[in-house]
Every structure is written in C-alpha cells, then in structure tokens.
C-alpha cells in the first residue's frame, strides 16, 4: 500500500473515528489535539523527505 494512503487513513482514524471521544474527553490535556496534529504533520514530512531522496 502507498505510504500516503496509509497516512491518510491514520489521519481519518485519529480525527474522524470513535477515537475522537478519547482526546476530547474531559480531563484530557488541552494540547493533546495539537500533539496529534504535530505527529501527523511530522509523519507526512518524513514520508515526503524519504520519497524525495
């Protein structure tokens, strides 16, 4: 499977699935959503860098 498709599916899993209830639950740290976005963006940058080489 293509790495881009896997990253897309990972993003859908994080931001449009029942996992949303986990990181939006009361008591979860405010920065959790930003850390998840940063991880996704970092993975995208890593894949783009490796494909470029």
DSSP 10-51: HHHHHHSSTTHHHHTSTTS-TTHHHHHHHHHHHHHHHHHHHH
The model's pTM is 0.80
Tell me the per-residue pLDDT of 3-40, one tens digit each, with 9 for 90 and over: 888 899 999 988 898 888 888 889 989 999 899 999 99
pLDDT of residue 53: 73
Domain range spanning residue 29? 2-52
Q: Is the pLDDT of residue 2 over 80?
A: yes
Domain count, the chain: 1
Tally Cβ neighbours within 10 Å of residue 45. Answer: 10
pLDDT of residue 26: 92
Q: Is the pLDDT of residue 41 over 80?
A: yes
């Amino acid at each position: 499977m293509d790495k881009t498709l896997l990253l897309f599916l990972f993003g859908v899993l994080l931001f449009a699935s029942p996992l949303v209830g986990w990181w939006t639950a009361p008591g979860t740290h405010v920065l959790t959503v930003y850390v998840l976005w940063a991880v996704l963006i970092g993975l995208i940058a890593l894949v783009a860098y490796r494909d470029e080489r």
